[in-house]
Amino acid sequence: MAKGYWVSVYPTITAPEALEVYNELAGLAVKAAGGRVLASVGSRVVAHEAGIAERVVLIEFDSFEQAVAAYESAAYQKALAELPDGFQRDFRITEGLV
């Protein structure tokens, strides 16, 4: 079964402290859903073309369905409610090839 991935890119983070509650709740939700953080804050990024060399988060799940269910879970929805107003990110759920 192919794995599932959450891929998030944050174009700009002007107030990282505003993400503290979201980060805590999201971390708990991801862990409870069986997700594994592969890249996050502090990971090195080299951006090309229209890429953005800001925070990139990569989380792996055992399946695409598990990744979708984790996003839709009550725990993660609670975390999403804590994102600050006007906050932007590019978030995708994608299926791995294997």
What digits encode the pLDDT tens for the residues 22-53? 999 999 999 999 999 999 988 898 989 988 88
Top-tier CATH class for 4-95: alpha beta
Angle at 70 between CA 65 and CA 21, to 5 degrees: 160
Contact yes or no for 40/69 (Cβ under 8 A): no
* pLDDT of residue 2 exceeding 90: yes
Model confidence over 59-68: pLDDT tens digits?
999 999 999 9
Distance CA 92, CA 54 (A): 16
**For residue 75, what pLDDT is reported?**
98
Give domain limits for the chain.
4-95
Q: Could you tell me the pLDDT band of residue 96, with boundaries at 50, 70 and 90?
A: very high
pTM value surpassing 0.85: yes
